[in-house]
A and B are shown apart, each in its own frame.
Chain A
Amino acid sequence: MPEDAIQRVVQALKDLGTGAPGVPYFHEGIYTPVGFERANFRVIGNLMAGIQKKIVCVDGGNLEILSTPGFSISVIRVAGIAFKGFERAKNRFPQRVECFCIVKTVFEGKEKKFQISYFPVKEEHAEFLPGGYTLSTEPGRIEALWELNLKPLSAISNHARKYAEWFYLKRILEFLEEGDVVLRDGIFQVSDEIEAGIAKEIFEKARNRKVGLAALAKTTSLLTDTGMPVVQVLQTLADQWQIEAPWYYFPVAENLDPDVNADIYFVKFCNSMDYAFRFEVMRQTLPDPFPLLTFLHAHSQNCIFPGYPYILVAADKIARVEQKEGKPLYLRLLSLLGKDRRIRRAIKSLDAHEMISKY
């Protein structure tokens, strides 16, 4: 690459993040932003003694195995890892469920829809997975879905994985006791009607069973209205105001949605790492999130990812579907499906990249 072009790129980004912090920017209407204030930074306690209950972290992973314009096959893995303090706790539900997922494109009149079907790897895990969904792409129903009309089916596989995560979460609530907490890897914001439906059931069920719900996202694209990432602004402000991690920041917004009730926090657990995370709590299920924050801070003092709670690392590890797992499954499916010339040709319509990359 020419050095001068790189220099010009660097120059173009030089002033990024030097402007005014602004206020958090929310596209949707349910959140009203709150300006940044020093008083909203608070220190997270060091003692984990207050956490006696089980914390279950739920995460999921998926990998598309085979794709044609008309259907896509992927592997989905959903996991729930439980800890009491630093010790793993036993679950009465499967720690990990796996399934194959087929996403098919179907047309009802002029409307394009996606049919999602789940095929559990172990039949006894079927009750922890949804049977299937049909996702409509009709413009105006859910804005995000309209965009999907233009995207490959692999994008729908990600939706399918999210549904499976939600479904699994809903199911395991039945095995938890009052005071236990489910920590979701991600956020509570939903992107379509199916998610919204399951999430609503979950909030209801959690409230009834007195199980806390929280979420921590390892990445966040939340910006301020001056175009700066919120995590960057908060860390800069913390430095300016000489606030040392572990801290949490609250509130960044007021939640006006009567259904969701998710409060957004930002947390930083490790001073020497440049990582802060978006953390959400379903207020009605977990009125006092501070013992949980203490737990997460203690779990963040780990060597694998300093500053990021170990329980999430552990859940990610078990839920992840590695790329290398895909190839043998792809070959197995191809050997069976490829016998049918029509299907073989359908597969060929999307694998030209793969062919040329062998060169």
Chain B
Amino acid sequence: MDVCGQIVYGSFGEILIRAKKDAKIEIGSLLVAGENPAYLLQVYDLEYGSQLEKTHLELTSGLQIENKEKLEFIEGEIQNYVIARAKAVLEVRKDGGRERVGVPKRLPEFFGTVQEVTPEFLSFLEKENEDGVFLGNLRSGSRILPIPVRIPLEESLTHHILITATTGRGKSNLLKVMLASILKTRKCGVLIIDPHDEYFGRSGKGLKDLEGADENLVYYTPHTGNLHARNVRRLLVNAGDIKPWDFGGVVALSDAQSQGMYVLYGKAGEEWLLTLFDEEPEALAGKLGTVQVDTVAALKRKLSFAMERFYGDESKTIFTIQSGLGVNTISEIVTMLTDGKKVVIDASSLSNEAELLLASALARRIFEEYKQRKKDGTLEQSPVVSIVLEEAPRVLRNEESIFSSIAREGRKFRIGLIGVTQLASLIPGEVLANINTKIILGTEMQLERKTLIESASQDISTDAKLIASLEKGEALVTSIFTKFAIPIYAPLFEAAFRQKEKKEKKLLIGY
């Protein structure tokens, strides 16, 4: 390992390193200090250092820029340099033939040299979670190392994952990369509510093109068009499968409307929505007795809207009230998920409320199914199920939502969430605290960075600049399943295909 700097000062959590000339130390660089124990240091800030005083430098600058003298720094690398601020993130101790990796509790040797990290030094990471969820390759600053970063499959999915970034920083790509790495395994089912129809690969490369897709991937879309693959299904849900509680957190109902809805369900059973939509409010209110006409009318209007009945053409909505149509869709999807398959729902043409209603109905059935399995004692043999939610705060900030319940209790029932959002700050703190893996891509917004730093699984209080400087595809993973907040680079999903075609070495090591 080449020496790239020397520890000159500092304290625990703030180790000052004088960088060697031409050393490529960046924000986020991983460095190694010492031998046994060796310390893995992560750079979180950089500043100029000089042997010359500020006023002296200002005077010299004046002489130069005012063209008074042609001056230069002789042996400039000795006079002026970069000071890197770093923190120790790992202590690696060799004990006989064994490597013990732990949280540092001491400082590395004073005035000791530091080297750039090598893949060999971090080889212990490579061995971890070999069948886990691949997130990307380990990154030291902008240097991508050939070390795959994975988190344990079942534990990380049931402890929930949050992917957060501003637009265009690679959230969807990262998710594709993650899904690709678990597509072949039947140890987990994943439900992907896809509002942009970008995961399956309807019009380009996508999950469908990966090995294992034929057996393990199912795509539901309202627009099957000329898609005739075995794993493509038309998305059509019978209204009879939608229960009053599925609207919780989806449609804002007053107490009276909510009560009216349950009274109606009590009277009409599975045909409650058919009854609501077919009958006039006056007549229905009369039959229900305790519910006002205005309440019925408002309920009808709100639920119609959520189920996209405003088209006037039933073929344009995924929710049908026709008997016999789409009656098995929800249970079919639940079966697939509990069988460890990955189900992508094309929600690109659905309204926000329709999308949430469908997601809510599916989530609730899975939750009910796994609650039952726990009672039956069969849960532990069942694959974990994860639900991917775009714009996660939409549902996670509402306590009535089934997703809030899953966030709090899902772990006990082997169900987890993968939330994707730009605005983690809108997610309640209690829910955020229950999300044990956060994958932080670039975000310029200070409030978002603050929220993420405060709710991280590791102390990343010094990493605001690091997060702000993340480029597309670069991320910081903070998780109870990683030994430190790991910087990663998620490779381009499409690049995997290009590389395969060129028969080059795969960058996507996790595939």
Q: Considering the complex, give the chain A residue whose CB is closest to the CB of B68.
A: A272
Q: Given A272-B63, A299-B74: A304 and B69 within 8 A (CB)?
A: no
> What residues of B have a CB within 8 angstroms of the CB of A88 in the complex?
75
Indicate if the CB atoms of B68 and A303 lie closer than 8 Å.
Answer: no
A270 CB-CB contact with B under 8 Å: yes
- A306: which of B51, B69, B79 is its contact (CB, 8 Å)? B69
B64-90: which have CB < 8 Å to A?
64, 68-76, 79
Residue of B nearest to A310 (CB): B74
Q: Write out the residue numbers on chain B whose beta carbons fall within 8 Å of the beta carbon of A302.
A: 71-74
A301/B75 in contact, CB under 8 A: no
Query: CA A22 – CA B52 in complex, angstroms?
Result: 39
A196 beta carbon closer than 8 Å to chain B: no
> Are B79 and A304 in contact, with the CB atoms below 8 A?
yes
How many A-B contacts at CB < 8 Å in the complex?
Answer: 40
**B-chain residues with CB within 8 Å of residue A271 when the two chains form the complex:** 68-69
Give the CA-CA distance A271 to B66 in the complex, in Å. 14
Greatest chain A CB density within 10 A among B52, B57, B69 is at B69
What is the number of residues of chain B that contact chain A, defined by CB distance less than 8 Å?
17
How distant is B53 from chain A, measured CB to nearest CB, in Å?
Answer: 11
List of B residues within 8 angstroms of A314 by Cβ:
75
- Closest approach, in angstroms, between the C-beta of A270 and any C-beta of chain B? 6
Q: Which residues of A contact B75 (CB under 8 A)?
A: 86, 88, 310, 314
Determine the chain A residues whose CB is within 8 A of the CB of B57 once the complex forms: 303
| Distance from B323 Cβ to chain A, minimum over Cβ atoms (Å) | 88
Shortest C-beta distance, A337 to chain B (Å), equals 29
CA distance in complex: A103, B151 (Å)? 70
Q: A272-B63, A314-B75 are in contact. Are A303 and B70 (CB under 8 A)?
A: no
Are B68 and A301 in contact (CB-based, < 8 A)?
Answer: no
Assembled-state Cα–Cα distance A270/B60 (Å)? 12
Give the residues in chain A near B51, CB-CB below 8 Å.
304
Question: Are B69 and A86 neighbours in the complex by a CB distance under 8 Å?
Answer: no
Closest A residue, CB atoms, query B79: A304
Q: How far is the CB of A190 from chain B (nearest CB, A)?
A: 31
Name the residue among B63, B74, B79 with the largest chain A CB count within 10 angstroms: B74
Do the beta carbons of B69 and A301 come within 8 Å of each other? yes
Residues of B within 8 Å of A304, CB to CB, are 51-52, 56, 73-74, 79
Residues of A within 8 Å of B79, CB to CB, are 303-304
Chain A residues, Cβ within 8 Å of B76: 303
Residue of A nearest to B76 (CB): A303
- B72–A301 contact, CB under 8 A? yes
Separation of A302 and B71 alpha carbons in the complex (Å) = 5
Scan A301-322; emit 1 where CB is below 8 A from any B CB, else 0.
1111010001000100000000
| Distance in Å: Cβ of A271 to nearest Cβ of chain B | 7
How far does the Cβ of A214 sit from chain B's closest Cβ, in whole Å? 19
**Distance in Å: Cβ of A295 to nearest Cβ of chain B:** 12
**Across the interface, do B74 and A270 meet the contact criterion of CB distance under 8 Å?**
no
Report yes or no: B74 in contact with A306, Cβ–Cβ below 8 A. no
Closest to A309 in B: B74
A248 to B68, CA, bound (A): 20
Q: Which of B171-214 contact A (CB under 8 A)?
A: none
Q: Is the CB of B74 within 8 A of A86?
A: yes
Contacts of A299 in B (CB 8 A): 74
How many Å from the CB of B68 to the closest CB on chain A?
A: 4
A301 and B70 contact, Cβ closer than 8 Å, known pairs A88-B75, A310-B75: yes
- Residues in A with CB closer than 8 Å to B74 are 86, 299, 302, 304, 310
Q: In the complex, what residues of A have CB within 8 A of residue B64's CB?
A: 303
Residue of B nearest to A313 (CB): B74
B444-469 CB mask vs A (1 if < 8 Å, else 0) is: 00000000000000000000000000
CB of A200, distance to nearest CB on chain B (Å): 34
B70 / chain A contacts, CB cutoff of 8 Å: 301
Question: Given that A303-B52, A304-B79, A306-B63 are contacting pairs, would A270 and B69 also be in contact in the complex, using a CB cutoff of 8 Å?
Answer: yes
Q: Bound state CA distance, A86 and B77, in angstroms? A: 13
User: How many Å lie between the Cα of A26 and that of B63 in the bound state?
Assistant: 36
Interface pairs (14), CB distance under 8 Å: A271-B68, A272-B63, A272-B68, A301-B69, A301-B71, A301-B72, A303-B57, A303-B64, A303-B71, A303-B72, A303-B76, A304-B73, A306-B60, A306-B69
A contact set with B: CB distance below 8 Å: 86, 88, 270-272, 299, 301-304, 306, 310, 314
Q: Name 5 extra pairs, CB < 8 A, besides A88-B75, A303-B57.
A: A270-B69, A272-B68, A301-B71, A304-B74, A306-B69
**What 7 A-B pairs are tightest by C-beta distance, nearest first?**
A310-B74, A303-B60, A272-B68, A302-B74, A303-B73, A303-B71, A301-B71
